Amino acid sequence: MAMEVELLKSMTKKPITLRYPFEKAKPVEGLRGRPIWDMEKCIGCGLCQRDCPTKAIEMMGRGRQAEFRIYYDRCAFCAQCVESCPVGAITMTKEYELAAFEHEQMRQEYRRPRTSPSKRSESKPESQTSTFA
Ligand code: SF4
Ligand code: SF4
């Protein structure tokens, strides 16, 4: 009898599962999704690359000229880079749908604008270019 009662109850309730990907769950508080870099803040110290446990951060150059490649298929979403950054240039977003078929699609590049030395003082110091698909 108890089983019939449970069966009737479940027939009148809405399902607790979602029809993903058509329905999506709201990210929970504290979810660590894709980390992103703010090149305006970055001073190019290299601590994020040094401390990343999975070598997901490739850094080209140092200081204000430093640029990055981030490999999200290596990232463990541990937020160590956020902890290590002395200027708060890295943020963990709540973006969690990162699956892709190709390795190249899992890469994001952060570049700085190319300017000649004479024009450098006239232009904005840095900007971000994202190639992440
Ligand atoms: S979140 Fe962790 S694994 Fe991902 S880039 Fe930052 S330090 Fe590396
Ligand atoms: S730790 Fe922060 S300031 Fe240093 S290179 Fe990484 S993002 Fe830039």
**Domains of the chain from N-terminus onward:** 30-133 (3.30.70.3270)
Output the pLDDT for position 105.
Answer: 93
- Judged by its nearest atom, the ligand closest to the C-alpha of residue 55 is 1
Positive or negative, the CA dihedral 25, 102, 113, 42 is positive
CB atoms near residue 37 (< 10 Å)? 21
CB atoms near residue 118 (< 10 Å)? 7
Q: For residue 70, which of 16, 95, 1, 117 has the smallest C-alpha distance?
A: 95
**Probe ligand 1: pick from 48, 59, 75, max atoms within 8 Å of CB?**
75
CB atoms near residue 19 (< 10 Å)? 8
- From the CB of 35, is ligand 1 less than 6 Å away? yes
2-50 per-position pLDDT tens digit: 888 888 888 888 888 999 999 998 899 999 999 999 999 999 999 999 9
85-124 per-position pLDDT tens digit: 999 999 999 999 999 999 999 999 999 987 655 443 333 3
- Judged by its nearest atom, the ligand closest to the C-alpha of residue 80 is 1
